[in-house]
Structure 1
Amino acid sequence: MKLLMAAGIALSLACISAAEAPSNYETYYGGVRVDSDPRLLNHYNRVLAYCDREASLPQRGSPYPYDTWHILALRSCLYRYSFVDRGVHSYPANWFWGHVFEQ
């Protein structure tokens, strides 16, 4: 049982994409896309720069930008600043459930 749980955690961490495109992100309150407003896009870019530096610290993430821990720390920081990734490839379950609910 512990082996299956460890394998599940490893697979879930391996399937996380590093989507940083503003078109994939929206605000937590209201669901406004980031690229729809220039002021919001400017705020997103400033938060992304801050969160990228924070995710590069060994205490939070990893200095390697393509590492899973770096991506998780980056998404966590963006979420704290109320930017939520809503892209199709943000989580593997979104692709499956998105097609189920469309039909």
Structure 2
Amino acid sequence: MRYLAVFGVALSLGCISAAEAPSNYQTYTGIRVDSDPVLLARYDRALSYCERESVSWRGSPDTRSLRYNTALRNCFYRRSFVDRGYYAYPATQVFDHFLDR
């Protein structure tokens, strides 16, 4: 049972992407970041802060690692930016119409 839990955690971390484009993010209230210049400026400040934080003490110097991606996404969540749903994780693109069949 423990092996399945460890496998599940590893698989969930493997599906994390670190999309840094503003069009992939929205606020907690559902407003897209690229729709408002004030939000876009706030996002740019958060991105510069979160990239530094994710490379240093919270994440990893390797920007392609899962630890870096997790730290970057965590920092964005703390700054009130969340992913926009369907295209936030690459696993949803793989199983796009799997259940439709």
Tell me the equivalent position of 2:6.
6
TM-score, structure 1 as length reference = 0.82
Aligned letter for 1:54?
E
Query: 2:87 is paired with a residue of what secondary structure?
Result: coil
Tell me the equivalent position of 1:41.
40
Contact 1:26 1:32 in 2 (8 A): yes
CA RMSD between the two structures: 2.3
Give the number of aligned pairs.
Answer: 98
Deviation at 1:67, TM superposition (A): 0.7
1:22 aligns with 2:22: yes
TM-score, structure 2 as length reference = 0.84
1:14-67 deviation per Cα after TM superposition (whole angstroms, max 9, x unaligned): 111121111110111x2110000111101101110100000101x311111111
Q: Distance in 2 between matches of 1:93 and 1:36?
A: 27
Point out where structure 2 has 5 or more consecutive residues left out of the alignment: none
Contact 1:17 1:89 in 2 (8 A): no
Point out where structure 1 has 5 or more consecutive residues left out of the alignment: none
| Paired residues for 1:15-94 under 5 Å | 15-28=15-28, 30-57=29-56, 59-91=57-89
Contact 1:89 1:95 in 2 (8 A): yes
Contact 2:16 2:90 in 1 (8 A): yes
